[in-house]
Amino acid sequence: MDLLGQLQCPVCRCAVDGDSPPLNVSLARVIEALQEVSVSGAPQLELCPQHHNPLSLYCEDERTVICGFCGSIGAHRGHTITPVSSVYSRMKEDISSLMTDFQHQKRKLEEQICKMAYNKSRITNESDVLKWVVRKEFGELRRCLEVEEAGFMQQVETSAAVLISSLQNQTDQLTQNLNRLQEAHNTLQDLSNEGHLDFIMKYGSIAPRFRQSQELQERQERLFSSVNFKPGFNHNDIKLTVWKRLHRKVLPAQELLKLDLQTAHPMLELHHGDTVVICGAMPRRLPDNPERFSYNYCVLATRGFSSGKHYWEVEVGNKPKWRLGLIKGTTTRKVKLVKNPDSGVWVIGLKDGVYEAFNSPRVVLPVSAPPRRVGLFLDYGGGVLTFFNSDSPDELGFIYSFKLEVQGKVYPLLDVCWHQRGDNKQPLVLSPPHREHLLSLSCPQKEDK
């Protein structure tokens, strides 16, 4: 009998035509896997616990290794099946990619840890410096307070000493009067014990003298005034007084500023080393450069500020109309200024006896004592511009504060306003430290610039 005619399926035992056997894909994959394992010299594959065939395939649907029978006739029949070797190579690539990602993340974390360590060290150093600054600043404040305290104590002690000395003098006088009264009382007591004849003879000389002494005593008693201890200050105002004085002491040193002719309106004239500005009678022929004001009667300082804290003073005297403040360096100067912070202009001013802050909206300022000298304090980093009444050399009076939200340079601005045919001809003066007021002098003579 021909052996090919007796071929049977090893699983179902059905007769198989030897001339045209069907293609067994599962068996082919098993054979390929076994061949690959044999060629590569890899260790023997584990066997399937159900069919006892090598676990050479991988079910993609259920993500598990299987044998050829599991994939052809078993529970994984019809699933997507891939040889273990291919899956191994693919997974090795995935692992390699993951390891690369992990290495990248590791480097990033190590960099972040280094940055954290650097920031920690930097913050420690900065905090040490800041603590030193805080101790220094508070040390200066304590010294200022100690000086103020010593001044108040000296004032109290001096006032008390003067009053005590006066009281001691009055006490000495009263003691002397008391002694005289006691002597007079003893004399009168002795006189009352005399006989009739001696009493009458002595009375005429003693009684009138004692009456005169008594009248003098009464007049002296009327001269003694009531005692009131007045040290020259109200104890309820000590904190406020010291606070005002500390403004002067804690502010930065006053800036030495000059006015910039390149920015001055053609009607303006600069004098006294470019620290005094007035509105002239006629415009001058000056270059129409972009920095120059063409509409408003303004001039800027030569120095601008883009950081730090700065303090300067401007003398306004009895000038009836003026404006002072800051302007952003990029604000156009060829048209009428829109005076508010949104346009890069922070100013206060006086007009018709009314003090105003040109905010949005404008604010009428309750100025109790018209300032002849205005101090301006700029804290660029803190975003604050504050105006003070700086008439007193010892203390400052608050006028108004603007909030600044600005980038770039800002410049001190002086607006003398129109001279109003002489009614507003008084100058504005950039005052250097410890300088006598120029406004007490006559208006400066015209100088050619």
Tens of pLDDT, residue by residue over 157-207, are 888 888 888 888 878 877 887 787 777 777 777 767 777 776 776 666 666
- Centroid of chain to Cα 164: 49
Contacts of 156 (CB under 8 A, 6+ apart): 231
Shared-domain flag, residues 310 and 259: yes
Shared-domain flag, residues 292 and 150: no
Rounded distance between C-alpha atoms, residue 430 and residue 391, angstroms: 14
Shared-domain flag, residues 51 and 152: no
Rounded distance between C-alpha atoms, residue 243 and residue 263, angstroms: 38
Domain boundary among 223, 240, 268: 223
Shared-domain flag, residues 9 and 123: no
Spell out, as residue ranges, where the chain has pLDDT lower than 50: 1-4, 41-42, 435-449
Residue 246 domain flag: no
pLDDT at 193: 76
Rounded distance between C-alpha atoms, residue 283 and residue 298, angstroms: 13
Shared-domain flag, residues 385 and 276: yes
Reported as type and span, the H/E element at residue 326 is strand 322-328
Rounded distance between C-alpha atoms, residue 286 and residue 31, angstroms: 102
Cβ atoms of residues 62 and 79 within 8 Å: yes
Residue 269 structural domain: 254-440
Shared-domain flag, residues 328 and 205: no
> Is-cis flag, bond preceding 361, omega within 30?
yes
Residue 233 domain flag: no
116 conformational bin, left if phi > 0, alpha if psi -120 to 50, beta if neither: alpha
Q: How many domains does the chain have?
A: 3
- Centroid of chain to Cα 391: 26
Of the CA atoms within 13 Å of residue 410, those in its CB half-sphere come to 30
Rounded distance between C-alpha atoms, residue 267 and residue 279, angstroms: 6
Shared-domain flag, residues 21 and 169: no
**What sign does the dihedral 297-303-307-310 (CA atoms) show?**
negative
pLDDT at 272: 92
Shared-domain flag, residues 181 and 287: no
Residue 160 domain flag: yes
Shared-domain flag, residues 285 and 362: yes
Rounded distance between C-alpha atoms, residue 100 and residue 364, angstroms: 69
The CATH number linked to 408 is: 2.60.120.920
Residue 446 domain flag: no
Residue 228 domain flag: no
Shared-domain flag, residues 279 and 409: yes
Residue 236 domain flag: no
- Exposed, middle or buried: residue 177 (CB in 10 Å: 0-12, 13-18, 19+)? middle
Shared-domain flag, residues 306 and 184: no
Q: What is the pLDDT of residues 394-423, one digit of tens each?
A: 778 899 999 998 999 999 999 999 887 778
- Helices and strands (H and E) in the chain: how many: 5, 16
Shared-domain flag, residues 279 and 396: yes
Report which of 297, 307, 294 is spatially closest to residue 259, judged by C-alpha positions.
297
